[in-house]
Chain A
Amino acid sequence: MTGRAGRAFALAILLLGHALADDIPANQRLSGHDMMGAEAQAMQRDDFANPAMLAVKEGEALWKAAPGEGRPSCQSCHGDAAESMKGVAARYPARDASTGRAFDLPGQIQACQTGRQAVAPSARESAALLALEAYLSLQSRGMPLASPRARGLEDAVLRGEKLYRQRFGQLDLSCAQCHSQNWGRSLGGTRIPQAHPTGYPLFRMEWQAIGSLQRRFRNCMTGIRAEPFPAGAPEWVDLEIYLKERAADMAMDAPGVRP
């Protein structure tokens, strides 16, 4: 090897080593809140200014109300959400013991609506489902995200990681290429976040509404001109499970605010 090739060889190893260790060390993880401007941060932290708190109020009312003549309210079975639902959102998605299927939090709410209240489930992205989800998520505020791997969801973690690292769409990009390898950089003026799902559902100013984590996933998929998975699809749940493994122990801060 000539001197020049030798130096280039060493450089190649250095760069490749960097590319392989391509995820964020635990002590450098930052939430979406940590990475946004001071104004949006202040809005998220102030319950009177955070527009998502309106949905929380709606969710509280829905929790207490009977969904129809003679049908039980959520509260009639679960009691005070501040107690019974404390920490629940921080350990979702979870596996349903009888079917073996993993449910995200909105999926579990829908399952109770169908199975326990005997009513038609609220649709994904409907105001009612987002409100209930926001209300339940608030009951985990400040609590650490539980590791899905430690809860027996290893298979879903692996499937989710595969999706996270797979290139999709006409632009042929993977989630990892933006969120693990280029976080903090400017994508045409927008700072790329690390994609930790600590704050969902959240109010996004661009949406002028509260929206779910799956809505955020869909935005990123259509951004790379890929066909999103259908609402509630198992692929989305696997992705959420992987992202929560990646964000394990980070504090929940739902409902968040984003520009």
Chain B
Amino acid sequence: MSGRAAHAGTGRELWLAIAAFLVALAMPARAQQDVPEAGPLAVSRPPDAENGRRIVTDRRKGLCLLCHSGPFPEVRFQGDLAPSLAGAGSRWTPAQLRARLIDSRLFNGETIMPPYFRAEGQSRMAVAFKGRTILTAEEIEDVTAFLATLRE
């Protein structure tokens, strides 16, 4: 695989893109540059960080702590499939956090993190969820506002 990529021009570009992405990932404790961003979504009310926290810790609503851990002492069972959310607000700008929530495939095509604000493109959506996003625009803004408060 690596041999083929080194010879093919387009393969090489792909590798460089991946490498650049990894360089970005390797930079610690400072907001990232050159990563996807998304501006505020149109919402009917101002963002509510407290509600964002509720969503993040609700395993049926946000589902976040199925995979992530974080500074939530009241949540007994947390996941270890993903990095801790502690300090996420120092590592990423609100626009980057929002973009990741909307569709984390923009950051990593192979990610396991669900696309929270995309209702199309999934196969065999359960009938009860058809045409619906995991979170509403208001909830995306609430979670973004909350994550921005998680600073190190």
Contact = CB atoms under 8 A, between A and B. Distances in A.
A9 B12 CA distance: 10
B78 A173 contact: no
Contacts of B114: 170-173
Contacts of B80: 185-186
Nearest to B24: A8
B123 interface: yes
Nearest to B6: A13
Interface in B116-144: 121-129, 132, 134
A127 interface: no
B57 to A, nearest CB: 11
Contacts of A4: 23
Q: Is the interface of A mostly helix, strand, loop or mixed?
A: mixed
B1 A17 contact: yes
A16 interface: yes
B15 A170 contact: no
Interface string A176-204: 01100110011111100000000000000
B123 A171 contact: no
B53 interface: no
A171 B123 CA distance: 10
B123 A166 contact: yes
A221 B127 CA distance: 12
A38 interface: no
Given A188-B65, A188-B77, A168 B122 contact: yes
Interface string A14-25: 011101100000
B66 A170 contact: no
Interface in B73-124: 76-81, 110, 112, 114-115, 121-124
B43 interface: no
Interface string A57-99: 0000000000000000000000000000000000000000000
Max chain B CB contacts within 10 Å: which of A189, A222, A226? A189
A168 B105 CA distance: 15
B15 A168 contact: no
Contacts of A189: 76-79
Question: Which of A19, A177, A181, A186 neighbours the largest number of chain B CB atoms within 10 Å of its CB?
Answer: A186
B22 A11 contact: yes
A173 B122 CA distance: 9
Contacts of B65: 188
A4 B26 CA distance: 11
Contacts of B20: 5, 8
A227 interface: yes
Contacts of A181: 112
Given A166-B123, A169-B122, A187-B79, A17 B2 contact: yes
A9 B15 contact: yes
B19 interface: yes
B29 interface: no
Contact of A187 (B21, B81, B129): B81
A15 B22 contact: yes
Interface of B: 1-2, 5, 15-16, 18-23, 26, 59, 63, 65-67, 76-81, 110, 112, 114-115, 121-129, 132, 134
Given A9-B15, A9-B19, A170-B114, 9 more contacts: A9-B16, A15-B22, A16-B1, A19-B110, A20-B1, A169-B122, A172-B114, A226-B124, A227-B127
13 contacts: A4-B23, A8-B23, A11-B19, A12-B15, A12-B19, A20-B1, A167-B123, A171-B134, A186-B78, A186-B79, A188-B66, A188-B77, A226-B124
